[in-house]
Each structure stands twice: as structure tokens, then as C-alpha cells.
Amino acid sequence: VVSGVTLGVRAGEAVGLLGPNGAGKTTCFYMVTGLVPVDEGTIEIDGFDVTSMPMYRRARLGIGYLPQEASIFRGLSVEQNIRAVLEMVEKSRKARERSLDELLEEFHISHLRKAPSLSLSGGERRRLEIARALATRPAYMLLDEPFAGIDPIAVADIQQLVRHLTARGIGVLITDHNVRETLGLIDRAYIIHAGQVLTHGRRG
């Protein structure tokens, strides 16, 4: 349960929502994406009130969400994972294939395009999940505990991916209970505990 939480993310910046397990971080994400309703207050995307909108409409307006748990389509290859999303947002087959090639190249997984998604390492899986999320062309990305279950080598890889997203102009909101990996990435942070934001401010 969260109470009186106010968060904001601007285009091209990375913001941390930091706190211990059970603090309410994931609940905040669920409210923003529309997975759970809010009792009071509003959710806005670029000043547009989406509080009463279902999840799919919020996604169309620019909200991308990467859950903590693995979200790949397990029975599909790398390219099939991305193509499955592109087929929902792009009518032209030629445009779909062009976008697919661009995303595979951008996230350095072209060499894995035919690989079964279950064969990927933790870092490769995160790359695929982010590439697939970008197929919907989101303006904002919510990354829930992106460093969870990732080996130390892959941590730097994920950090670089976040920097890549902000360089693209995408606003990124990251939850983390282990702030070490996140602090070097973010422009601002909100500290949440027991469902309430204790403080917030810029890094540094």
C-alpha cells in the first residue's frame, strides 16, 4: 500500500525509485502502468490524465514497462519475440522487418536472431526484453529491479542500456533496493519506505 506518492520523470532523464523490499516500489509501477487502480490522485503522461485508462491505452500513449521477472516469450526465438510485438503496432510487413533489423542491430543481438530465447544469458535476455519493449516506441520506460538476477559482468551492460535509452530521449524510471548499481545512472532519486516518499532530489 502506498500513500501520497508524487513522482515525475522528464524526457531523456533517468530517475530512481529506491527503497527496501516491500517499500511500495513495484506497487507504484503497477499504478502507473494501469495494473492496479489508484484510490486517489492522478496518473498523467505529458500532462494528459490517463488515470481511468486501461493498460493497453497507456502503452499506446508512451508507457513501456519491463517487469523484474523474465518476460520473454519462451517458445519463440529472439527475432520472433520482437516481431510478435511489431505485428501489433506496425501494419506494413516491410516496415516491421526494417524495425526488427534496426532493433537487433541497435542492441547488438543480430547474431542471436535465430537463437531460442531460453538459451540467452541474463544480460542477453535483458537486451532482448528492452529491444522488444522499444518496438512500441515508448516515450517513457519503467524498469523494475533491472539488476535482479544479473551476473556482475551483465550489470555494466544493463547500465549502458539505460544510458542508451536516455540518449534516445526516453524518460526512464528505475526501481532498485540495491542502490549501488543505480546511483551512477540516475539524474534524480526518490527514496520510498513503507509506502511513502521520504525524500527526493538530484544526484550529487
Model confidence over 15-41: pLDDT tens digits? 999 999 899 999 999 999 999 999 999
The model's pTM is: 0.90
Among 53, 24, 22, 29, which residue's Cα sits nearest to residue 173? 29
Measure the CA–CA gap between 14 and 95, rounded to whole angstroms.
30
Sequence spans of domains, the chain: 14-202
CATH class, range 14-202: alpha beta
Measure the CA–CA gap between 91 and 19, rounded to whole angstroms.
42
Model confidence over 43-83: pLDDT tens digits? 999 999 999 999 999 998 999 999 888 889 989 999 999 99
Measure the CA–CA gap between 25 and 16, rounded to whole angstroms.
10
